[in-house]
Structure formats: C-alpha cells, structure tokens
C-alpha cells in the first residue's frame, strides 16, 4: 500500500481552495491511499527541475504536484494548483535532502538563479557581506549546499535573507538566519536538532528524509487520518513542530524538565504535544495544569484537538491547580468555606489594631503569603531564621516577634471560624497527598508556570511520583502577572540540565515584538531557579519570522475621544476584512473594558466581555490585561495607557512603605502590559488620554 505524506505549505493553501476543489482533493487522495502504485495516474511533467516530480489530475482545471521517489511507493503531495501553474511550479522547484538534518527541503531553484546575479552585483559594491565571518566548512556542516552557499555568499543584508525565505530550502534558511541573528554554529545545530559529529545523511533517500521531517510533512495513516488533516488544515501546529520544539516535546527526561521562551514561541503547543506523547506511552495518568480557569479551558480545547484516540484523551486530566487542591481537600473534608478577600483584610486590620503593631494589613498579608506560607514556616523560631528575600522592609528580631504574633492570631482566627484561603486549602491538600501510599498522577505538565505560588508547587510535587518524565514545566518569567516568585531548586524541583529555551516567535510580527521588548528593556527578571534571566533581548536569536506594521500609538484629550477613536479603529479593521472574533481589546481595569464594550455596541459593532464570553467568536472581545494571558488575536487595541491608570496605583505598594516591593510591583505592571501587547498577531494599537503612562516614556514625544 502506498504511503502518503502531505506538505505543510500545501495545507496552508488548502483552506483557500474552493470547497468543491477541496472535496475533490480529499476524495482523490483518500482513494490514492488505498490504490497501488500502478493504479495511480501520475504524469511525469516535461522540463521538471526535479525528475522525481509527478502531477496528478484533480479535475479539468486543477492538478496536484507529487514527489514520487524513483523506487518504493511513498508519495508526498506538495501542491494543488490550476493546470498551467502546476506545471510551472514543477519546472521551478526541486526537492533535496539536507545533509545535516536529514530532512526533506523544497526550494524554488528558479528564483534563486534569477536573484543571484543582481545580488552579486550589489555585493561587489558593498564594503562587507553578511556571512564574511562564517567559513564555508561551517556552513556546509550546517547543511548549506552548493546552490545555497553561492547565494549566501552574495548577501550583504539580513533583509535580503528575510526576503529569500520564500524560496531557499527551509532548514538551510533557518541555519543562515540563526547565524545572521548572532547565534554560534553550535547554537544553530542545537536548534536544528543536529547530532554533533554525525556522518552526512544520504541525500538520495527521499523516503527516509520525508519520515525524518514531521514538522514539514504529515504522514497520514489511512483515509480517516487524511480526512482529519484536511478538516483542520489551519491547526498546523497540531501536526508540525519546529525541530527545536519537537525535541523537547518528545524527549525522555530523567526528572523534572522545563521549557522557557518569549511570548508566542510555542511553549503551550509543546506542553500539549508532550502531554499527549506521555499519555500515548500509557505509564499512568497525566495531569495538565495551570493557574486559572480560563487558561485551563483553552488547554482542554488543545488536548481535545491533539489527542489522537479516546484512550489517549482519557489518560489526560486537565485541571487548574486550585481545582486540584480543592478536589483533594473535598474528598476528605467535604466543602470548604472560603474566606473572601474583604473578610481577610478585616481580620488583619483588627489584628493590627489589637496588637498595636507598626504594620499595615497589606504588609502582614503579604508577609504571611510570601514568607510564612512560601517557606512552610510553622514556629516563631523558624520565622526568625526564614529568608525574606524580595521583601524590602528589613525587620529586627522584636518586629519579627510582633509579625509572628500577628500571623499566629490570623491562623488561629481561620481555625476558629473554620474558613480557608486558596493557599491553606493547598497546604492541607498537600498534606493529604503525602499521607497517601500512592501518587494520583504519573506525569504532570504545567503551563504558565511563572505564576504559581510555592504552596502550589509543593502540591504538584506531592501529586506525582518522582522519576522519569515526572514534571514538565512551561513558562516565561517575563510574563509573570501575579506576585509569586519561586526558586524551583529550593522547592526540590531540579531542572538543571533539562531546561530548553525556544527562540522563534510564531505569533507576533517582528515590529510588535521589538516594540514590546523595548518596554521591558533594562528590567532584571529572575529565572525561577535562583538566578536572573539573561533577558529576552539579550538572548541571541529570539526572533519573529513575520513582518508587519509597527504598533500605532495615539494620545487623546479625554476618555470619550479615546473610546470614540477606538470604535473608529475597530471599524477600520472590520472593513479590512478582519473578523470580529479576531479583534481583542485590553484595559487595565474592568470598568474601562466595559466602557469600551458600550461604545463599540453603540457604534453597531458586536462586542462581548472576555470574562463572560471568552469563546465568543462572532464579537470583538474586551477584557482586562490579566484576562488576555494565553490568548491571541489578529488585531489588539490596548486602551487607557494613561498616567494614573497604568501602572495601577492600587496594585503598587507605596515606595515609602517598601521600596523593594514597590519596584517589584512596578515590574509586574510592566510585564502585564508586555503580555497584553504580545497577544497581537498582526496589528497593535495603543492609546491613552491626558498624559501617557510612564511606561510609554521614550516612545511618545
């Protein structure tokens, strides 16, 4: 029986074909799967650049181009085009096997030949060329072949290389682009997943090369799978991962492992692939978890899409951390009465008064969360010795005694009232799990890990057996929008040697990414492992492959002017063909987000609140910046970036109260705007009224 592969680039075009042509393609290739080689009407086109190209009739007007190796019966569908275009395509392109990665590559050989002379003329006049510092041997070792090498040698500018992406062989382009972005050959190798010192691959064995290229070619196993691929042609990530992503998702790890990377680098996609991979192995239940219900709902949808059989689906449980702790708690104690925020504040306030302590209720609440609970402090003596890193206000031993007295009173009050906070439920659930003879999960996959609190990490540690592939952690500390800071090492979760950083941004344009990174420049951000992160902009190679318009920044006199202009902007996007569901609005407060909805509706534009209708696809969705986490839209407008709204004064500790916490709070507010900006795939619009937010200083004149 013939084996059929489908090229990712074709799938991208498939959605744009007319429905009747799509149906015909599906029908032919479903039959193709069952046919024998002899039964296929494959035609060898004249003048094809690659002797292994064949065309196949779809209907009177359309033909498919198929890569058919000389021997064997594995075929790869590359294109479906109108009749003449299909023949022209076959004359311009050729397939080859990359010597370093062993993967199949397609290039537009005619475009390379046509562009090279003009580039060579320009290079003769240029003082320097792009790859002057790279020697031929290194380039060859990275899989660059003769035609691409000749091309690379006449490049003088990275913009020329970017333009050549459409026609150079993919892995060779990746290697060149990595070098141009400042990566060393070794880093490029690592990213491409090349084993050092390996013999070059056999460039004649096309069938093996196709099998080695899951990120570019999906091999379908039977007509059902084929139909499934054609039904979800846009969910490309479902089947294709970049080699760097693939390696992490499918690796075997001796213990906890972690994937980091900037926004849109595919951490969530990798986490989902990993969960399904672990479930397929069948060693035991897999928990996929994160920190909020909105995020866990989108992970659930991802698992549904990716799990390829009901058995795999059934082995995966998606549950956010508080849900897990509540479930464990409730199994033993029944329903828990939860202390509300306001009630908690009232208790602390009463204690401050009663003890006549020189602290505010906010200071005590944070000291309890970020020192006492974070380090499992259970006595005055332990508290005296506890590390208070990250807490700005120093405390002498007399003051510590006072704090401990307050904490003791507070915990006593919780016990007396039989009420719980999310943290104390988590602590109790952890205790209950530790008592059990067996762990409920064999693997845990955590997404958006940067926002979990130490008590939640302990819960997860207690919920999974220690061992191979136990914990897989995806996160980015630059996107931390809540207060938790942890050192995984101190929590007994060692990821040293099992940490990978992804560097290619698949979501945002280079312009939006550069602007958003500019906003974080200079911030010193931790790496969740007791050190400082190198900083996104310092990491060679963090890049986006797509270009677009730079973000648009606009200031207005009043809020009314700003919101009217927002309605105008959204109207422009809709007129340009962007669907309402592909537009997102973010504001710092719920109130401003709701005002935006009212103004849009008044302008006749359907708009819904992200909090109430997170999945509304037929309306523009508006919400707080916090709600934007984990989502993405073609166009994003961030409103209310005004002096007194961003940073939000209620979220920032006054500098006189605690300078260090003040600085951390400001950083978190900056990260929040960064998260909101990086949700935009194509266009980003930022606005304010009155004086602009200090975060925009340097961008606004």
Is residue 267 near ligand ATP by the rule CB under 6 A? Answer: yes
Q: Should residue 543 be labelled a site residue for ligand ATP when binding is judged by CB under 6 A? A: no
Give min distance, CB of 684 to ligand ATP, in A: 14
245 lies in the binding site for ligand ATP (CB under 6 A): yes
Residue from the set 10, 237, 404, 674 that interacts with ligand ATP by CB under 6 A? 237
Q: Is the peptide bond before 561 cis (omega within 30 degrees of 0)?
A: no
DSSP code of 425? H
- The Cα 137–Cα 144 span in angstroms is 10
What are the CB-based long-range contacts (under 8 Å, 24+) for 229-238? Answer: 229/6, 229/11, 230/14, 230/22, 230/25, 230/26, 232/305, 233/11, 233/12, 233/14, 233/15, 234/12, 234/15, 235/305, 236/8, 236/11, 236/12, 237/266, 237/269, 237/506, 238/305, 238/306
421: left (phi over 0), alpha (psi -120 to 50) or beta: beta
Considering only residues 607 to 666 of the shown chain, the ones binding ligand ATP according to CB under 6 A are 630, 632
Confirm or reject binding of residue 233 to ligand ATP (CB under 6 A).
Answer: no
The distance of closest approach from Cβ of residue 93 to ligand ATP in the complex, given in angstroms and rounded to an integer, is 21
289 binds ligand ATP (CB under 6 A): no
- 6: helix, coil or strand? strand
Q: Which residue, 237 or 359, has its beta carbon nearer to ligand ATP? A: 237
Of residues 24 and 480, the one with the C-beta less far from ligand ATP: 480
For ligand ATP, which is the closer residue by CB, 607 or 677? 677
Nearer to ligand ATP, 322 or 451 (CB): 451
Residue 656 per-residue DSSP state:
T
Buried b (16+ CB within 10 A) or exposed e, 537-564: eebebbbbebebeebebbbbeebeebbe
- Beta-carbon contacts of 280 under 8 Å, excluding residues fewer than 6 positions away, are 308, 312
Chosen residue from 101, 171, 265, 645 binding ligand ATP by CB under 6 A = 265
Angle between helices 510-520 and 659-677 (to 10 degrees): 170
- Nearer residue to ligand ATP within complex by CB, 69 or 243: 243
Shortest Cβ 491–ligand ATP spacing (Å) = 22
Pick between residue 174 and residue 361 the one whose CB is nearest to ligand ATP. Answer: 174
Residue 251 phi, psi dihedral angles, 5° rounding = -75, 165
Near ligand ATP in 672-691, by CB under 6 A: 678
Question: Which has the closest alpha carbon to 485: 361, 678, 668?
Answer: 668
Residue 504 bridge partners (DSSP): 543
CA dihedral over 693, 694, 699, 701, signed as positive or negative: positive
Which residue from 207, 433, 404 is spatially nearest to 325, judged by alpha carbons? 433
The closest alpha carbon to 162, from 139, 180, 136, belongs to 180
Question: Residues in contact with ligand ATP, total (CB under 6 A)?
Answer: 21
Residue 336 or 628: the one with the smaller Cβ distance to ligand ATP is: 628
> Looking at beta carbons only, is 194 or 241 nearer to ligand ATP?
241
Q: Smallest gap, in angstroms, from Cβ of residue 490 to ligand ATP?
A: 24
Query: Which of 193, 256, 266, 623 is close enough to bind ligand ATP by CB under 6 A?
Result: 266
Residue 264: CB minimum distance to ligand ATP, A = 4
**Minimal distance, residue 268 CB to ligand ATP, in Å:** 3
CA nearest to 206, candidates 51, 55, 1: 51
Per CB under 6 A, the list member of 64, 178, 263, 647 interacting with ligand ATP is 263
* Closer CB to ligand ATP, 64 or 262, in the complex: 262
Q: Under DSSP, is residue 71 helix (H, G, I), strand (E, B) or coil? A: coil
Task: Choose the binding region for ligand ATP from 160-168, 259-267, 511-519, 665-673 (rule: CB under 6 A).
Answer: 259-267
- Do residues 448 and 291 make contact, with C-beta atoms less than 8 angstroms apart? yes
Q: Is 266 flagged in the annotation as binding? A: yes
- Among 189, 240, 291, 688, which residue interacts with ligand ATP (rule: CB under 6 A)? 240
Query: From the CB of 601, what's the least distance to ligand ATP, in Å?
Result: 28
Helix then strand count (H, E) for the chain reads 27, 22
- Range 203-207, long-range pairs (CB < 8 A, 24+ positions): 203/96, 203/97, 203/99, 204/97, 205/97, 206/52, 206/67, 206/69, 206/95, 206/97, 206/104, 207/3, 207/69, 207/72, 207/74
| Residue of 236, 355, 603, 700 that binds ligand ATP (CB under 6 A) | 236
Q: Which residue has the tokens 């059929």?
A: 4
Binding mask 491-530 for ligand ATP (x = CB under 6 A): ---------------xx-----------------------
Does 153 engage in binding with ligand ATP (CB under 6 A)?
no
Q: Is 467 annotated as a binding residue?
A: no
Question: Which tokens is 599 given?
Answer: 């103004």
Q: Which of 66, 80, 269, 406 binds ligand ATP (CB under 6 A)?
A: 269
Our finding on whether 264 is near ligand ATP (CB under 6 A) is yes
> Was 263 annotated as part of a binding site?
yes
- Rg, Å, the chain Cα set: 28
CB of 410 to ligand ATP, least distance (A): 35
| Spatial distance between the Cα atoms of 579 and 528, rounded to a whole number of angstroms | 38
Say if residues 64 and 86 touch (Cβ distance below 8 Å): yes
Q: What are the structure tokens assigned to 277, written together?
A: 């991979």
> Distance between alpha carbon 267 and the CA centroid of its chain, in Å?
4
Across the chain, which distance is largest between two alpha carbons, in Å?
93
For the packed helices 267-281 and 243-250, what is the interaxial angle rounded to 10 degrees? 40
| Smallest separation, CB 271 to ligand ATP (Å) | 8
Using the minimum distance from each CB to ligand ATP, give the nearer residue, 164 or 248. Answer: 248
**Which DSSP category does 589 fall into?**
S
Strand 316-318 and strand 286-289: the pairing is parallel
CB of 478 to ligand ATP, least distance (A): 9
Of 109 and 169, CB closest to ligand ATP: 169
The answer to whether 262 is a known ligand-binding residue is: yes
Q: What are phi and psi of 96, to 5 degrees?
A: -150, 165
Tell me the window of 222-230, 241-249, 278-286, 588-596 that interacts with ligand ATP (CB under 6 A): 241-249
- Which residue in 63, 103, 141, 242 binds ligand ATP (CB under 6 A)? 242
In this structure, are residues 407 and 427 in contact, taking their beta carbons and an 8 Å threshold? Answer: no
For the bound state, the minimum distance from the C-beta of residue 587 to ligand ATP, rounded and expressed in Å, comes to 19
Tell me whether residue 295 or residue 429 sits nearer to ligand ATP (CB atom). 295
Question: Contact between 151 and ligand ATP (CB under 6 A)?
Answer: no
Closer by beta carbon to ligand ATP, 267 or else 608: 267
Q: Work out whether 541 is an interface residue with ligand ATP (CB under 6 A).
A: no
| 571 assigned ligand-binding residue | no
Flag whether 267 is marked binding: yes
Least Å distance, CB 244 to ligand ATP, is 9
Site string for ligand ATP, 177-216 (x = CB under 6 A): ----------------------------------------
Residue 353 is assigned to a ligand binding site:
no
Site for ligand ATP in 467-496 (CB under 6 A): 476, 479
Annotated binding site for ATP: 261-268
Residues at the contact surface with ligand ATP, assessed by CB under 6 A: 236-237, 240-242, 245, 261, 263-269, 476, 479, 506-507, 630, 632, 678
Annotated binding site: 261-268
């Amino acid at each position: 029986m013939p084996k059929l592969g489908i090229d990712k680039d074709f799938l991208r075009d498939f959605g744009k074909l007319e429905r009747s042509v799509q149906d015909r393609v599906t029908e032919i290739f479903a039959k193709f799967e069952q046919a024998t080689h002899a039964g296929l009407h494959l035609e060898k086109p004249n003048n094809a650049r690659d002797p292994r190209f064949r065309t196949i009739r779809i209907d009177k007007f359309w033909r498919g181009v198929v890569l058919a190796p000389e021997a064997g019966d594995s075929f790869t569908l590359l294109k479906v085009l109108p009749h003449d275009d299909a023949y022209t395509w076959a004359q311009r392109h050729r397939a080859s096997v990359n010597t370093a990665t062993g993967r199949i590559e397609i290039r537009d050989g005619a475009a390379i030949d046509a562009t090279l002379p003009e580039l060579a003329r320009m290079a003769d006049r240029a003082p320097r060329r792009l790859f002057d510092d790279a020697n031929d041997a290194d380039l060859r070792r990275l899989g660059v072949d003769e035609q691409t090498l000749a091309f690379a040698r006449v490049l003088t500018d990275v913009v020329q290389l970017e333009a050549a992406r459409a026609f150079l062989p993919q892995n060779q382009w990746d290697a060149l682009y990595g070098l141009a972005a400042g990566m060393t050959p070794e880093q490029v190798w690592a990213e491409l997943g090349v084993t050092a010192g390996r013999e070059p691959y056999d460039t004649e064995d096309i069938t093996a090369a196709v099998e080695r290229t899951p990120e570019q070619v999906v091999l379908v196993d039977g007509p059902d799978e084929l139909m499934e691929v054609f039904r979800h042609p846009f969910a490309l990530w479902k089947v294709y991962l970049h080699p760097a992503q693939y390696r992490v998702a499918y690796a075997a790890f001796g213990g906890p492992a972690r994937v980091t990377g900037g926004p849109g680098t595919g951490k969530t996609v990798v986490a989902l692939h990993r969960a399904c991979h672990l479930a397929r192995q069948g060693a035991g239940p897999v928990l996929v978890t994160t920190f909020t219900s909105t995020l866990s709902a989108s992970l659930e949808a991802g698992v549904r899409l990716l799990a390829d059989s009901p058995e795999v689906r059934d082995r995966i449980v998606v549950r956010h951390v508080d849900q897990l702790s509540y479930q464990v708690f409730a199994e033993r104690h029944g329903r828990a009465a939860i202390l509300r925020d306001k009630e908690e504040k009232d208790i602390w306030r009463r204690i401050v008064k009663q003890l006549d302590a020189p602290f505010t209720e906010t200071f005590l609440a944070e000291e309890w969360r970020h020192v006492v609970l974070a380090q499992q402090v259970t006595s005055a003596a332990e508290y005296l010795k506890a590390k208070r890193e990250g807490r700005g206000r120093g405390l002498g031993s007399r003051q510590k005694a006072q704090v401990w007295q307050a904490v003791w009173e507070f915990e006593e009050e919780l016990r007396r009232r039989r009420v719980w906070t999310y943290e104390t439920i988590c602590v109790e659930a952890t205790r209950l799990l530790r008592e059990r003879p067996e762990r409920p999960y064999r693997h845990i996959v955590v997404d958006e890990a940067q926002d979990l609190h130490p008590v939640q990490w302990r819960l997860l540690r207690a919920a999974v057996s220690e061992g191979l592939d136990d914990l897989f952690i995806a996160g980015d500390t630059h996107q931390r929008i809540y207060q938790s800071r942890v050192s995984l090492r101190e929590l007994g979760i060692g990821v040293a040697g099992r940490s990978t950083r992804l560097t290619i941004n698949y979501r945002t344009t280079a312009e939006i990414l550069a602007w958003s990174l500019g906003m974080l420049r200079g911030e010193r951000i931790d790496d969740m492992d007791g050190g400082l992160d190198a900083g996104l902009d310092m990491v060679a190679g963090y890049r986006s492959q797509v270009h677009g318009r730079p973000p648009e920044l606009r200031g207005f006199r009043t809020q009314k002017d700003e919101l009217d202009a927002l309605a105008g902007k959204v109207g422009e996007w809709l007129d340009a063909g962007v669907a309402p569901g592909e537009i997102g609005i973010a504001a710092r407060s719920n109130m401003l987000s709701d005002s935006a909805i009212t103004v849009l509706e008044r302008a006749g534009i359907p708009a819904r609140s992200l909090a109430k209708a997170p999945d509304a696809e037929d309306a523009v969705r508006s919400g707080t910046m916090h709600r934007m986490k984990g989502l993405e839209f073609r166009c994003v407008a961030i409103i209310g970036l005004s002096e007194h709204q961003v940073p939000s004064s209620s979220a920032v500790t006054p500098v006189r109260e605690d300078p260090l916490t003040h600085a951390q709070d400001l950083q978190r507010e900056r990260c929040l705007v960064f998260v909101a900006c990086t949700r935009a795939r194509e266009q980003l619009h930022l606005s304010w009224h009155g004086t602009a937010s200090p975060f925009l200083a340097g961008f606004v004149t």
